[in-house]
Amino acid sequence: MAEDELETVVLEEDDYALDSTLFTAVRIAVAAGDKERLGELLEPLHSADIADFLEQVDSAHRREILFLAGNKIDGDVLSELDEVLREEVIEFLPKEVLDEAVRELETDDVVDLVEDLEDEQQEAILDALEDADRVAVEQALTYPEFSAGRLMQREVVAAPEHWLVGDAIDYLRETEEDLPEQFYHVFVVDPKMAPLGYVTLGKLLSAKRSTPLSDLFEDSFRTIPVLQDEEDVAYAFNQYHLISAPVVDDGGRLIGMITIDDAMGVLDEEHEEDILRLAGVGESSLSDRVIETTKQRFPWLAVNLVTAILASLVIAQFEETIAQFVALAVLMPIVASMGGNAGTQSLTVAVRAIATKDLSPSNVWRVVRREALVGLTNGVIFAVVMGVIGVLWFGTPMLGVVIGVAMVVNLVVAGLAGILIPVALERFGIDPALASGAFVTTVTDVVGFFAFLALAGAVLL
Amino acid sequence: MAEDELETVVLEEDDYALDSTLFTAVRIAVAAGDKERLGELLEPLHSADIADFLEQVDSAHRREILFLAGNKIDGDVLSELDEVLREEVIEFLPKEVLDEAVRELETDDVVDLVEDLEDEQQEAILDALEDADRVAVEQALTYPEFSAGRLMQREVVAAPEHWLVGDAIDYLRETEEDLPEQFYHVFVVDPKMAPLGYVTLGKLLSAKRSTPLSDLFEDSFRTIPVLQDEEDVAYAFNQYHLISAPVVDDGGRLIGMITIDDAMGVLDEEHEEDILRLAGVGESSLSDRVIETTKQRFPWLAVNLVTAILASLVIAQFEETIAQFVALAVLMPIVASMGGNAGTQSLTVAVRAIATKDLSPSNVWRVVRREALVGLTNGVIFAVVMGVIGVLWFGTPMLGVVIGVAMVVNLVVAGLAGILIPVALERFGIDPALASGAFVTTVTDVVGFFAFLALAGAVLL
């Protein structure tokens, strides 16, 4: 591919993945120490794509790129970077580049940037800010992590309740310079600064100047308490189709605004957390190194070792039975495995329903009953299938009966454990995505092995 | 709790979950046949909450509620309902209520409402529409499912490139009635209707009337091809912080608009799909009945039965070894279980990275190497731990060595399978979230049992 073709093919059009020719072209430019060419290659990229690019190369290559093209790393790129990489990149950037990058960000983005940094780096970034911005960022940092207060921007457009459309338009024209970079509503407040409603800019533009703002209020209006968990903020935006919402303090006074793009980011992160936690992986990224990744994976594997040993202790009780009838050792993993899978199915549905607030005290018993019946139905079907296979394979009719009965028992238990364990964890304030898997598979392993081996011992010997 | 207290406590303030007192109050009102009271209870609820409420009650109760308060079910409630329930509710609603509900919806919401309905119901709803709307909906339905064309609304505000701010404002004032209900940008187009850029309403409001629109273009501007997969649309909105984006046809002409709230809904659905598919559950909802749920869970359990039998066939090769040394039967599930967990960890990280486009040909081999090394490191640690336990438990030093070596082998294989299998499935156009789990655990079961038993047979006997 010719060099000038390369320049245009930076993103695969259909699916936004970074084109592999870009990686090659950057590697060539870096090898040649060609600063200008490297700049040309990165220039057309969105800051989010530059961040992704830096995440996808290895750390030595990343340093070379930063060395040659550090000036392409602006505040937006820093914001988009994974936390782990962010620290690395900040450490590597020259002070003047970093200072300029930080100064061009809105305060809510600075908060997002610094909140997970270590004290020293945080201090360096705060020092780069103008006094007013620094105060704003420091105040935001006084709100708890993952609260609406950390997510909001302080710049809002507020209007007193007696204003007409004309007043609002004149005000917007006058304060042009100081308006938030992105805003979609004018918030109408009472004299105590409590939000009363909001007007979309579209309505403002199309209504007559003499219309009172309060005639144009939207139904979708909702306020967000500053201490609300960001997960609930994201839920509210998605559930009620909000575009922006005023944030209020304890006294109900307007102190900021959250916009849907930030809420969408939170929704995405929360999902990532759930999906990784369900698989027993901590917060992680592809750019993590071996040692970090090993550490993230270790705890759940350790828990799993304990539960696997627990299951083995159950098997050990039946050593004599197995010694007399080795077919049991061959078949017993099937019962445990089917239970584990059925349990994982139930628990995933339950964890997801808890996250979307669809599982409540009013319907939990109905769902429990359903899971038990589903377990029973599938249990009976697979019991028959597996019973027949057991008989054909080993030629012992009673073995078929034993594995069939054990299968039914374990699938019913799996259904029950899959719903009851996450619900119980949620009641105790533990994230059900985090811990349910370990408990559920322990239950299905123990019950599966016990039901099968105990029954076999009683019937076959 | 007194009756008038009930009226206000409809949502638990902190977390938006429906209050259980509401369920009680509705039950009382329905039992008394008190239509008015039921109306009072549902009135303050957002349509999304009414939909959730209907999803959380059982089907007999739902019919009673619909019978008494069918008039509270407007188009928005229908839009928010789960697909399965939507069919049930539509069937139950009187024709005039349904017709009115449908007529008040925007055309993109009607598309969303009817696209999964059966022909007969779809026809009934299309019949309720005015001719122009019906044509619009039917045209949207000609685009493939899950494409940008299904997601977009046709109502947009477009301006010719030579317009000034004043022209745009005058135009908006004049066309007040026909403006889209929600819009955030004015799209500027060339004479062939190709979008050139867009201007936020905030800029339009605060700029001078004499400013050319083209001076106010935003950097964030991106067009969406009408046939783009909705998953990629959601990705673009999240990655590039879009609020609205013009949709263009093959010829690059503006034919509609997608807004971030719809993209956020898609992001949420895609996540739900991934998380459920990873657990081997099809599209499902808590309001599904036992028979539907059983059917959704069945296929993955059937696949799992086959893979479990495959693993058992491996064990069966070593029946004699086990018969002579029953401790092997006790310990072998530990090796398989640890491999299964490590594999699930790797594959979940890989599936997620594929979804976020962070895993590309440029870094896949680095990630493969990392996963293998992580497997090796954790493998060695757990090999030592389990080796010691094995020796202490059964008093046979070589048994400790055997389980240790098998553990290392299986954890390395788990790491490799966890990344290579989803990547390979993706290459073949199969959703890695859907099928990876079955393959990965088959590999770790087979390798785990084989490595442990074969080694034991060679060393211990």
Domain match, A384 and A404 both: yes
Domain end position, chosen among B254, B278, B302? B278
* Pairwise CB contact (< 8 Å): B374 & A206: no
Residue of B nearest to A220 (CA): B46
Domain match, A305 and A449 both: yes
The ipTM (two decimal places) reads: 0.90
Cβ neighbourhood burial of B143 (10 Å; 0-12, 13-18, 19+): middle
* A281 vs B241, B345, B366: nearest CB: B345
Domain match, B298 and B414 both: yes
* Pairwise CB contact (< 8 Å): B281 & A184: no
Alpha-carbon distance B240 to nearest alpha carbon in chain A (angstroms): 7
Q: Does residue A259 come out as left (phi exceeding 0), alpha (psi in the -120 to 50 range) or beta?
A: beta
| CA pair distance B433, B437, nearest whole angstrom | 8
- Going along B87-160, which residue ranges are E strands? 158-160
Closest by CA position to B128, among listed B103, B150, B163? B103
pLDDT of A96 = 86
Looking at beta carbons, which residues of chain B come within 8 Å of A15? 229, 232, 235, 357
Domain match, A403 and A296 both: yes
* Pairwise CB contact (< 8 Å): B326 & A322: yes
Looking at beta carbons, which residues of chain A come within 8 Å of B347? 279
Half-sphere exposure of B80 (CA within 13 A, CB side): 20
* Pairwise CB contact (< 8 Å): B327 & A345: no
Residues B293 and A370: beta-carbon distance below 8 Å: yes
Closest by CA position to B100, among listed B123, B142, B129, B80? B129
Looking at beta carbons, which residues of chain B come within 8 Å of A23? 360, 362
* B16 vs A17, A357, A377: nearest CB: A357
Task: Report the helix count and the strand count for chain B, using DSSP H and E.
Answer: 22, 6
* B373 vs A55, A232, A290: nearest CB: A290
The CATH number of the domain holding residue A123 is: 1.25.60.10
State the amino acid at position B325 in one-letter form.
F
The CATH number of the domain holding residue A428 is: 1.10.357.20
Q: Tell whether A283 is covered by a domain.
A: no
Looking at the 3D structure of chain B, how many domains does it have?
Answer: 3
| CA pair distance A385, A380, nearest whole angstrom | 9
Domain match, A182 and A92 both: no
The CATH number of the domain holding residue A202 is: 3.10.580.10
Mutation target vs A (from B169, B258, B326; most A CBs, 10 A cutoff): B326
Residue of A nearest to B390 (CA): A309
Alpha-carbon distance B108 to nearest alpha carbon in chain A (angstroms): 15
* Pairwise CB contact (< 8 Å): A348 & B276: yes
- Going along A327-457, which residue ranges are E strands? none
| Beta pairing, strands A195-200 & A185-189 | antiparallel
Residue A254's beta-bridge partner residues? A248
Query: For A156-168, how does the pLDDT look when each residue is reduced to its tens digit (9 = 90+)?
Result: 999 999 999 999 9
- Structure token digits, residue B181: 């209900």
Q: Tell whether A220 is covered by a domain.
A: yes
| CA pair distance B49, B40, nearest whole angstrom | 15
Residue of B nearest to A82 (CA): B358
Domain match, A271 and A343 both: no
Closest by CA position to A339, among listed B203, B142, B29, B333? B333
Looking at beta carbons, which residues of chain A come within 8 Å of B336? 333
Residue B256's beta-bridge partner residues? B247
DSSP letter assigned to residue B164: B
Q: Tell whether A300 is covered by a domain.
A: yes
Domain match, A184 and A129 both: no
Closest by CA position to B342, among listed B427, B443, B453? B443
Closest by CA position to B318, among listed A400, A456, A315, A330? A330
- Cβ neighbors of A50 (< 8 A, separation 6 or more) are A42, A72, A73, A77, A80
- Structure token digits, residue A234: 């994201």
- Structure token digits, residue A458: 């009683």
Domain match, B169 and B258 both: yes
Domain match, A316 and A454 both: yes
* B56 vs A261, A280, A362: nearest CB: A362
| CA pair distance A85, A78, nearest whole angstrom | 9
Domain end position, chosen among B105, B124, B148? B148
* A261 vs B243, B331, B378: nearest CB: B243
| CA pair distance A235, B162, nearest whole angstrom | 42
Mutation target vs A (from B337, B363, B388; most A CBs, 10 A cutoff): B337
| CA pair distance B230, B140, nearest whole angstrom | 14
Domain match, B306 and B249 both: no
pLDDT by residue for chain B (461 residues), tens only, comes to: 344 443 333 444 447 888 888 999 999 999 999 999 999 999 999 999 999 999 999 889 999 999 998 888 888 999 999 888 888 888 888 888 888 888 888 888 899 888 888 888 889 889 989 888 899 899 999 999 999 999 999 889 999 999 999 999 999 999 877 888 889 999 999 999 999 999 999 999 999 999 999 999 999 999 999 999 999 999 999 999 999 999 999 999 999 999 999 999 999 999 999 999 999 887 777 777 899 899 999 999 999 999 999 999 999 999 999 999 999 999 999 999 999 999 999 999 999 999 989 888 889 999 999 999 999 999 999 999 999 999 999 999 999 999 999 999 999 999 999 999 999 999 998 999 988 988 999 999 999 999 999 999 999 87
Domain of B34 in residue numbering reads as 3-148
Looking at beta carbons, which residues of chain A come within 8 Å of B331? 312
Residues A314 and A321: beta-carbon distance below 8 Å: no
* Pairwise CB contact (< 8 Å): B315 & A329: yes
Q: Tell whether B153 is covered by a domain.
A: no
* A329 vs B14, B329, B357: nearest CB: B329
Q: Tell whether B190 is covered by a domain.
A: yes
Domain match, B176 and B243 both: yes
* Pairwise CB contact (< 8 Å): B240 & A308: no
Looking at beta carbons, which residues of chain A come within 8 Å of B227? none
Query: For A296-353, how does the pLDDT look when each residue is reduced to its tens digit (9 = 90+)?
Result: 999 999 999 999 999 999 999 999 999 999 999 999 999 999 999 999 999 999 999 9
